[in-house]
Amino acid sequence: MARKWRPQVFEDVAGQDHVIRTLQNAVKLDRVAHAFIFSGPRGVGKTSVARILAKALNCEQGPTPTPCQVCTHCREITEGIALDVHEIDGASNRGIDEIRELRENIKFLPASSRYKVYIIDEVHMLTREAFNALLKTLEEPPPHVVFIFATTETHKIPATILSRCQCFDFRRISLKEIGDNLRKIAAAEGIEISDKGLAWIAAAGDGSMRDSQSIFDQIVSYAGTAIADQNIEEILGLTDRRFVIAIAEAVLARNAAQCLKLIDEGYYAGLDMQVFYQMLVDHFRNLVLTKVVAGAEGITEMTQEDWSRLQEQTGKVSRETLQRLLEILMAEEETMRRTQSPRLVLEMALTRMAHLAPLVPIDEILARMASLERSLMSGVVVAGEKSNVQSRPVTEIKGPGDSGVPMPPKPIVAIREQAVTGYGTGEKATAADVKGDQSWEGFKAFVKPPLSSKLDPGQLLSLEGNRLTIGFPKAYVFFEDIEKHQKEDLSKLARSYFQRPDLEIRIEALHIDSAGNNGKIVNGNAKAQLINDIKQEALKHPLVQKVMDIFENAEIRDVIPRQKVTEGEVE
């Protein structure tokens, strides 16, 4: 079938429009080069185009981009018996002696045609010496000679040869173009076959028209002129593909046991584990493309049925999870190629994939954190509402220049804030008050964030001599951080604020009894303890832990409750 339906004119060549257009214009404008290199995968039309070009140059009506197909020269070239068109196998004529003979023969004029055409297939097989012997001839050949070299491995051809030729890269043929060609052949041959079956055959050809036609020929020999889809499955071994789909579904369902059962069934059904592994990699690659690219059926060149199945499998799985699963498979590819136990490698990879926890996109994590933050907020009450205002005295501190007279108490406004900045209630001193009002609240206002936020739950216990004692609840989340790492910074700030160069800070742990009281602690300890418990619970939240794992060197500066906390209870 591949020989019977070989293209005979430029218009019959599928999938190589860039090459065909250039060659037709070259013939039409009489700008034909003396040497060509046709490179590309197997079965995409390199030798066929070389023969068509030979006919275009030697046709009795030409040179013409549309050879007549009826003259003597066209018919002889088609039948492979033309005296002036020589097809040489580069693999079996690779030595310097054969090239010397070729150099002697090209000196003679064509027997009956316009041009002598030398088509050397698999030219990369020539030896280095043979290529060197060909150099001068290629650079200045007789005007009646045209060389056409075909190869699947351009990188093996010396640069000195490439520079003397016009190079054309032949591409893989798309599944649609192969399917259309097979459909035309089926109609001409009277063969009944479904579009799905043609798509399967085209996919099995892997971009090669010749391979696809040969497979089609084999299936016709097996099933006759009425081909059922089941016949194609049996010839192509599509049972392997059903195992791939079933295992992918088990992995996405996180069912490791089902994966191992399917591998066992496939092993005894005769699956080649290494080939099957590559099929699995390709399938998960298609899953990722389906998730990432809109209209990925054009990239993966799959049937509509396969495309629908992929969309169904990726429906509830995140892109990150699919990428991670594909990475696991790709990481084991080298091991699979080298191992003596491919089944074991495949089983271990599938087990890891099935037990992989679904990955959550960072955007979704942040959205959930924002949702959690909103859920903790019970409402906002504007400062100044009568129901939320109360007054109490502020702890007095004697400064170095004090006469010992207690400072007059200041009214403190208790505010239910949208974002609570401290455990205790109270108004902070403004920048103008800081130097003139050496109070505990003034000191907290003097300290800049983020350290100031960590001082909010603290209580001033005493200021005696050169020692300032601050108490924090024992369970305070930042207690250890302040005591071990930031105590010296606080001491420096305290010396500056209280104007005592030898002032040192001492940190004490406050133990709150069951009633929430302690002799050293002013009112509000129960509330401070309650908010501290809320902060600790937030720090232990799985989403927070996941963010800390994702972002290296992340640091929690503060935890801000967004809810109303009254004395000893949460509303």
Q: Which of 25, 81, 84 is nearest to 54 (CA)?
A: 84
Q: Which of 409, 411, 439, 446 is nearest to 425 (CA)?
A: 411
What's the burial of 23, exposed, middle or buried (CB within 10 Å: 0-12/13-18/19+)? buried
Q: Which of 52, 47, 20, 19 is nearest to 122 (CA)?
A: 47
Contacts of 343 (CB under 8 A, 6+ apart): 263, 267, 273
Length of the chain: 571
pLDDT in tens, 237-259: 766 778 888 899 899 888 999 99
Beta-carbon-side half-sphere exposure of residue 310 (alpha carbons within 13 Å)? 26
Distance in Å from the first CA to the final CA of the chain: 83
pLDDT for residue 511: 58
Structural domains of the chain, ranges and CATH numbers in brackets:
10-169 (3.40.50.300), 175-236 (1.10.8.60), 239-354 (1.20.272.10), 386-570 (3.30.300.180)
DSSP secondary structure of 364-411 = HHHHHHHHHHHHH------TT-GGG----PPPP---TT--SPPPPP--
Regions of the chain where pLDDT drops below 50:
378-437, 513-524, 567-568, 570-571
pLDDT for residue 470: 83
What does residue 327 show for φ and ψ, rounded to 5 degrees? Answer: -65, -40
Q: Distance of alpha carbon 331 from its chain centroid, rounded? A: 14
pLDDT in tens, 413-459: 332 232 323 323 333 333 333 333 457 777 877 887 777 777 777 77
Query: What is the rounded distance in angstroms from the CA atom of residue 450 to the CA atom of residue 427?
Result: 18
> Is-contact 136 104, C-beta < 8 A?
no
Q: Which of 6, 14, 85 is nearest to 53 (CA)?
A: 85
pLDDT for residue 276: 87
519: left (phi over 0), alpha (psi -120 to 50) or beta: alpha
